[in-house]
Amino acid sequence: MGKIRLPQVGIIGLPLTAAVILASTDTSTQTYTLSGAKALTTREIAAAISAAVGDPLAVVDVSQEALVQGLMASGLPEAAAREIASFDANAAAGGFSGATCDYKAITGREPQSLDEWCRANRSALIGTR
């Protein structure tokens, strides 16, 4: 699963996007796909977090069935575990790998990169070690 690519957008940008759309006088119906500017693999995501916190963080590849079993062992019902695991299967097939320019088109700003987000949230990431 370490090769999955996800174009994540920082949560801080979502309220800004909503505010711009709601304040707009455009009454047309549109669908937006909000994403980061770049799709990152789970290994690249782990590397960014690792760099921010100063500790190694590894990605452990597991099969879809092992993921289901692990989620169920954590208390999730089987149906919920399979639904969550299907997200990873879809992502592994490239279902979520497309980055869009919608965020910038709406807000006029580049989306925050994962590296920027990790640096800004370093204290939350390291907790109270």
| C-alpha to C-alpha distance for 77 and 111, rounded to whole angstroms | 36
pTM of the predicted model as reported, rounded to 2 decimal places = 0.75
CATH number given to 5-126: 3.40.50.720
Q: What is the per-residue pLDDT for 2?
A: 58
* Residue ranges for the chain with pLDDT beneath 70: 1-2, 128-129
| C-alpha to C-alpha distance for 40 and 47, rounded to whole angstroms | 10
| C-alpha to C-alpha distance for 9 and 113, rounded to whole angstroms | 8
| C-alpha to C-alpha distance for 40 and 6, rounded to whole angstroms | 5
| C-alpha to C-alpha distance for 88 and 111, rounded to whole angstroms | 24
Q: What is the per-residue pLDDT for 10?
A: 76
Within a 10 A sphere around the Cβ of 89, how many other Cβ atoms?
Answer: 14
Q: What is the per-residue pLDDT for 21?
A: 92
Q: What is the per-residue pLDDT for 129?
A: 63
Are residues 90 and 1 in contact, defined by beta-carbon separation less than 8 angstroms? Answer: no
Q: What is the per-residue pLDDT for 74?
A: 98
